[in-house]
Amino acid sequence: MEDKEFKALWVTEEGDKSYKRQVVQRLVSQLPPGELLVRVLYSSLNYKDALSASGNRGVTRRYPHTPGIDCAGVVEQSTVTDFAPGEEVIVSCFDLGMNTPGGFGQYIRVPAQWAVKLPEGMNPRRSMIYGTAGFTAAQCVERIISHGVVPQDGPVLVTGATGGVGCMAVAMLAASGYTVSAASGKDEDEFLTAIGAAEVIKRQKIAVGANRAMLRERWAAAVDTVGGPYLEAILKTCRYSGIVTCCGNVAAPELNLTVYPFILRGITLAGIDSALTPVLKRQRIWQRIAGEWNFDFLEDMAVEVTLNDLSEAIDRMLAGHLKGRVIVKLAD
């Protein structure tokens, strides 16, 4: 097996600090040590992958490198009793695709705790339509539900709504009975309505008044994927005792705030991280995705690419032009 060749996206740093992506042949023996050797069937494109594939040192310190922070595939070799060869798994979180060769290669070798068994009701392809984006959206929606926000409390806002996390959050919130307001920079009202949005708002309108101390109460809760002035304004427009989940920084990482939303309206700002989610929680969330949040309509929404087309999709994501989810088919 060690001399088996496979294809992978290979990102190299060029002399002028630019980064080049190409599809190359690698050997299984070149993978790092690990308990599970997994033959990757599908991966997905997440914002973090786009950063890794374009030389972002906050995500990937060393190049050359193969990105891909999540994938689904079949265990080929296992040195642990929890997983047997032939079992289908989802591998995500921790260092996969950051400094460990990731799912944009046909094989990965990883610690067993990075994997969960593919839950019943899921297949590898569909699990990557969700991928880390869907998993993160599920964590955000769970936090809103466990905070005690109920549909009668009012609309729930989602920013970056046509993006991976955003569109999954729209669909999951709508399926859970909430009235969803989707904020987007694109003219994709039809798409957003089809996945469950009751209302589509131009994203610039969300940030209006972001520099004021407080704004009129509007949202019972919000899933924010973009940060910066949008998150500032959302915290000031959240209804009394509401919750805003924060998972992304596509617009900006900075937050210029006063304490007023917290001390005058009792707002909760909940940070969401998927990278270090413990295995038991990952299993539980994937079960929930495979159950109540398992939507057939996502099949039509996903765009499937091969390794050869992936670089172009990465550029489109970095430019903010992608809609929905891009999945990567690794099997020849």
Ligand X SMILES: NC(=O)c1ccc[n+]([C@@H]2O[C@H](COP(=O)([O-])OP(=O)(O)OC[C@H]3O[C@@H](n4cnc5c(N)ncnc54)[C@H](OP(=O)(O)O)[C@@H]3O)[C@@H](O)[C@H]2O)c1
Q: Tell me if 165 contacts ligand X by CB under 6 A.
A: yes
Among positions 205-234, residues that touch ligand X (CB under 6 A) are 225-226
Q: Tell me if 160 contacts ligand X by CB under 6 A.
A: yes
Q: Tell me if 249 contacts ligand X by CB under 6 A.
A: yes
Q: Cβ neighbours of residue 200 under 8 Å, at least 6 residues apart?
A: 161, 181, 182, 183, 184, 188, 189, 192, 193
CB of 79 to ligand X, least distance (A): 29
Q: Is residue 227 within 8 Å of 244, Cβ to Cβ?
A: no
Q: Is residue 244 within 8 Å of 234, Cβ to Cβ?
A: yes
Q: Which is nearer to ligand X, 1 or 319 (CB)?
A: 319
Q: Tell me if 54 contacts ligand X by CB under 6 A.
A: no
User: φ and ψ at 74, to 5 degrees?
Assistant: -120, 135
Number of Cβ within a 10 Å radius of residue 215 = 17
The structure tokens listed for 77 are: 């070799």
Neighbouring C-alpha atoms within 13 Å toward the C-beta of 22 = 8
| Binding segment toward ligand X, per CB under 6 A, in 17-25, 110-118, 282-290, 316-324 | 316-324
Q: Which is nearer to ligand X, 66 or 136 (CB)?
A: 136
Q: Residue 119 is inside which H or E element, if any?
A: none
Q: Which is nearer to ligand X, 75 or 173 (CB)?
A: 173
Q: Tell me if 314 contacts ligand X by CB under 6 A.
A: no
| Closest CB to ligand X: residue number | 163
CB of 288 to ligand X, least distance (A): 17
Among positions 121-140, residues that touch ligand X (CB under 6 A) are 132-133, 136
Q: Cβ neighbours of residue 312 under 8 Å, at least 6 residues apart?
A: none
Q: Cβ neighbours of residue 189 under 8 Å, at least 6 residues apart?
A: 200
CA-based nearest residue to 158, from 135, 194, 192:
192
CB of 186 to ligand X, least distance (A): 4
CB of 54 to ligand X, least distance (A): 13
CB of 146 to ligand X, least distance (A): 17
By rule CB under 6 A, what string of x and - marks binding of each residue 186-205 to ligand X?
A: x----------------x--
Rounded to 5°, angle at Cα 307 from 304 and 311: 95
Which residues sit at the interface with ligand X, rule CB under 6 A? 46-48, 132-133, 136, 160-166, 184-186, 203, 225-226, 247-251, 272-275, 317, 320, 322
